[in-house]
Chain A
Amino acid sequence: MTDIPMDTMVRAAAHPRRDIGLKARYAAERRFRIYGGLAISVGLAFLAIMLITIVSKGYTAFWQTTVTLPINFDAKMIDPSNKRATDPSVLIKANYPKLAESALIAKLGIDPSNKPMVMKLKGFLSEGARVQLRDIVAADPSVIGTTRDVNILAAANLDSAFKGQIDLSVEEARRKVSDQQIAWMNKLKADGVMAEHFNTGLFSYGASSRPETSGMGVAIIGSFYMMVIVLLLALPIGVAASIYLEEFAKKNRLTDLIEVNINNLAAVPSIVFGLLGLAVFINFLGMPRSAAFVGGLVLTLMTLPTIIIATRAALAAVPPSIRSAALGLGASKMQMVFHHILPLAAPGILTGTIIGLARALGETAPLLLIGMVAFVADYPTTPFDPATALPVQIYMWANEAERAFVERMSGAIIILLVFLMAMNITAIVLRRRFERRW
């Protein structure tokens, strides 16, 4: 390729070299890189530690110890004066715990007249036995007079002991489970009567002062109502607002003001929305406290900016050529938006909505202010009934002193995180799959 023959070429003398401090500069380069790697590792390590501690504290909450006892639904005990046909309230007021206790006494072979021994049985079975047995009788009064095997919940302390969470080397007086109870527990365990089962109660029970009968049923329903409300309100309003701002708004003072407002609202502390909800929805408009409806409204206002920002980005990503094509065929601007732009932007809008919903699902502070820190034992049948929410339930359990509540709380966090992770991962996957390069 060269037009000079090789032999006539002069060899280039090496150019004089300069010292440009390479060694020190490369050392600095390496250090800088290590700092970067360290920074990321610290973040991820913290994530790992947090998840591991929560899971290790909480996974046991998904199991609950029960004692399978042959309960004799003795008519004399339940309805001594035999007037249940005329007064159904007898069945409600009967001394059901006594039935469970008698069955346990028989099972352990204790002499029922040995009062000190019987006293030691106190706190072995859950007080929840009352409700459990009452519900059986209420559902089918014909069980009275028969004997049936029922899985009675163990009390929280026995549950902890059964799971090996109580340090037995501590002297007896200073722990919550006596040696005698441990001995009974081991006996029942050996007989296969006392065992751990999957804890469905964690998902179904409402609020309770006893850990073993408290669950997230009310919270799950409350959170569900709120998510539905947020979705029904924030998505249409957010999309409508975004369409206006992105496709129709002229550049003027009003548009500018709206823009600044949306961006600012996205960064306003969430607790401020709680104050707004308290002052406007509850005080001024007289809506009920603790209701999922009010919670949903507050979370809607909080989520709107997130959805608007994501939707606008998705709309802006649709290339102008599509707009020109639609308008060129004689579509009106409104038809162009709803027939062409919106369907193309849908994946982006969906991603933003899911992320917004996930944020709303995990939000606690504003809900505290509108009275959702409430002891609600019954399922809310409408969004206007008192309810709690998942994160609020976690907060309430965090304020309980008993160890068993910490277990429940960690279990609840796991459930909440599973929901959130599922939503976030869906959003990430959606974004990857539908990421369109125009």
Chain B
Amino acid sequence: MSSLLVLAIVVAIGVVAFLIGRQRAAAHENGTVKPHSRAHYHGWWAFLLAVLPALLLLAVWNIGSSFYLDRHIHAVLPERTADSKVASEALDVSLVKSLARGLRQLDGNTALPATFAELQPLLAAKGVALASDTQDYMIPIAVETNKVQGMLGWFGAVVTLALSIAGALYALRQIAPRARARNSVETLMLWGLLAASTIAILTTIGIVLSMLFQTITFFESVSPISFFFGTVWDPRFADAGSGGSRGQFGLIPLLAGTLYIAAVALLVAVPIGLMSAVYMAEYASAKVRGVVKPALELLAGIPTIVYGIFAVVTLGPFLRDLSAALTGGSPFIQGQSIFTAGLVMGVMLIPVVSSLSDDIITAVPRAMRDGSLGLGATRSETIKRVILPAALPGIVGAILLTASRAIGETMIVVLAAGVAANLTVNPFEAMTTITVKIVNQLTGDLEFNSPQTLVAFALGLTLFALTLVMNIVALYIVRKYREQYE
């Protein structure tokens, strides 16, 4: 029985339990004892008890049985030998699983051919495409797997439905005038709310763990030292499974490019964004603010791919032609360059800097301004000597947050920075970044367990660690800054 059907039945049991519960509780409402909870709370309690434990069991059962199936396949697969046709044990298992999935599409009564070559057209007719290195010996294993899976599914469904009915009956038996159904429902709701808020933690754990495992696998074939301190990036795309060619995975050129482009971007964004924020907070009339603020918000709402395309289609060629015209011959600015990417990224970050610093500048109490103006300072003196120094910690935090955005930005650099892993100081040449290489290594058809693919996770983990540190320091600074002015 499919999980979806079980789910539907469980929900149906829940609905019935809700209706019965509400009706029974409503019968008490005219009694002599004043009921503690309104009738619908009793109904909900019955619904929750019928549905929640059952669904939990179903989920656990499904995960458990898929683990069991994996182990089962591992166990029945023939011992691996040196001349095994399939590259790895993991690939073996996944081939069996997709074969099993394919076989389920076939009618039960068709006789199964013994070789994959004969089987393939049958499957193809059902729209199932399978990897060509599926082996003949896998067919009986797949059939066996399907049988086990079917049994597990039936058993799970029966247990789940039993639990659902038991839950509903238990809740319905509890109904009494003084039963605190509302409190029970609300306690469950509170747990639900708490669970929702822990998703943030689970996401972080998911990010760290998923990347950590892949990174560890990567470090089994490439040493951490040559990754972190290598100055050559040349992954040399290998054929899936051949494992023969070893590339060089030096982080340094990517890190240098990332930081260089981010630095150029900050050089553009910080002065302009900060000055805009100062102007908006201290000089602009209400009318100007009413127009410019939404305009800056719209600028912030433009997706980065649009900036990237502007850089590569319009600005890059323009700068190249301009530099060619200036020297009267060969251009000294390349079409894809650190300068172009940094400039466009800087513009993208202007609204980020300005809205972050706007919040921070307006958090400086009015008394500070008045104190300075009351001494006869001009507005700009007040800003430069009192407000900005007072806001400095907050602004540093804002810049750090912006820098973290710049380092993690992907689409602009993918389009405008180039893919060649150079080490150069000339801002008019192309350099590449960590994010560009993550995209490069993971787009296209790749075998998942080669170092060429896994390196993307090592890069991702590096990127995550880098931005995590910056974010946490920045958030800490900004928080402390806000507390200072309550």
**Residues of A at under 8 Å CB distance from B?**
20, 25-26, 28-29, 32-33, 35-40, 42-44, 46-47, 50, 53-54, 57, 236-238, 240-245, 248-249, 257-258, 260-265, 267-273, 275-276, 278-280, 283-284, 301, 304-305, 308, 332-334, 355, 358-359, 361-365, 368-369, 373, 391, 394-395, 398, 406, 409, 413, 416-417, 420-421, 423-425, 428
Contacts and interface: CB of A to CB of B under 8 A. Distances in A.
Interface stretch (B249-257, B324-332, B405-413): B405-413
Nearest to B208: A276
Contacts of B283: 33, 36
A39 B309 contact: no
A348 to B, nearest CB: 16
Contacts of A334: 186, 189-190
B312 A244 contact: no
A43 B350 contact: yes
Contact of A280 (B210, B303, B475): B210
A131 B414 CA distance: 35
Interface stretch (B46-54, B219-227, B290-298): B290-298
Interface string B456-486: 1100100110011001101100000000000
A240 B297 CA distance: 27
Contacts of A304: 199-200, 203
Given A362-B302, A369-B443, A39 B460 contact: no
A362 B298 contact: no
Contacts of A37: 279
Interface residues on B, range: 35 or more
Nearest to B464: A272
A369 B380 contact: no
A242 B304 CA distance: 28
A39 B292 CA distance: 12
A398 B194 CA distance: 44
A260 B475 CA distance: 8
Contacts of B183: 332
Contacts of A47: 295, 298-299, 302
A272 B407 CA distance: 12
Contacts of B452: none
A261 B192 contact: no
Nearest to A399: B415
Interface string B277-317: 01110010000000010111111011111111110111000
B298 A365 contact: no
A47 B414 CA distance: 21
Contact of B312 (A301, A398, A425, A428): A398
26 contacts: A36-B276, A38-B275, A39-B272, A39-B274, A43-B296, A43-B354, A47-B295, A53-B314, A241-B199, A241-B200, A249-B197, A268-B468, A269-B405, A270-B408, A270-B410, A272-B467, A275-B210, A275-B457, A276-B206, A301-B199, A305-B200, A362-B303, A362-B306, A391-B305, A391-B411, A394-B306
Given A44-B295, A304-B199, A391-B303, A332 B435 contact: no
A29 B299 contact: no
Nearest to B94: A286
Contacts of B298: 47, 421, 424-425
A279 B211 contact: yes
B435 to A, nearest CB: 5
A279 B303 contact: no
Contacts of B276: 36, 39-40, 43
Contacts of A271: 408, 410, 435, 438-439, 460, 463
A243 B475 CA distance: 22
Given A244-B196, A279-B211, A269 B409 contact: yes
A368 B186 CA distance: 42
A265 B202 CA distance: 11
Contacts of B383: 32
Nearest to A247: B193
B174 interface: no
Contacts of B426: none
The SS class assigned to the B binding surface is helix
B301 A420 contact: yes
A248 B214 contact: no
Contact of A244 (B190, B384, B456): B190
Contacts of B273: 39, 43
Contact of A258 (B197, B411, B456): B197
B234 interface: no
B239 interface: no
A261 B439 CA distance: 25
Given A43-B296, A275-B438, A395-B411, A268 B464 contact: yes
A364 B439 CA distance: 11
Nearest to B313: A406
Nearest to A22: B378
Contact of B404 (A236, A249, A267, A365): A267
Contacts of B108: none
Contact of A264 (B186, B297, B442, B471): B471
Contacts of A361: 303
B182 interface: yes
A417 B302 contact: yes
A269 B408 contact: yes
A-B residue pairs, 9 tightest by C-beta: A269-B408, A362-B303, A36-B279, A279-B210, A240-B196, A39-B275, A244-B193, A365-B410, A32-B380
A304 B302 CA distance: 19
Given A20-B376, A283-B448, A257 B201 contact: yes
Contacts of B442: 275, 278, 368-369
Contact of A46 (B197, B271, B304, B347): B347
Contacts of B200: 241, 258, 261-262, 265, 304-305, 308
Given A272-B408, A365-B435, A241 B196 contact: yes
Nearest to B203: A301
Given A305-B200, A358-B301, A362-B302, 4 more contacts: A50-B307, A271-B460, A283-B448, A359-B301
B190 A36 contact: no
Given A368-B439, A395-B305, A424-B298, A264 B468 contact: yes
Given A53-B310, A244-B197, A265-B200, A279 B408 contact: no
Contacts of B198: 258
Given A249-B197, A305-B200, A368-B439, A279 B301 contact: no
